[in-house]
Amino acid sequence: MRKRTMSLSEAKSNIEGLKGKLIEIKVNKGRKRVVKYLGEVVGVYSSVFTLRIDGDELIDKLSCSYSDVICGDVVLKE
């Protein structure tokens, strides 16, 4: 069975609901590399959103597009 995909407006509204909350972020970097972060959504813009990463010395902020969430490359969990 095919997985139901969300629309762009659904993705934006879901991410706006997570703004300011502590969430778990999984980023698929390809070739079986999945990186996990703990952080919060800081900014929600028209085509991208920004995340503040906690506890990582190398990365302070991360920006992702809504298409990354729709296709499953970025997964956000409360």
Tell me the pLDDT tens digit for each residue of 5-30: 788 999 999 999 999 999 999 999 98
Tell me the pLDDT tens digit for each residue of 28-75: 998 999 999 999 999 999 999 999 999 878 889 999 999 999 988 999
DSSP 60: S
pLDDT for 3 equals 63
pLDDT for 41 equals 96
> CB neighbours (10 Å) of residue 21?
10
> For 8-77, CATH number?
2.30.30.100
pLDDT band at 4 (very low <50, low <70, confident <90, very high): low
pLDDT for 2 equals 52
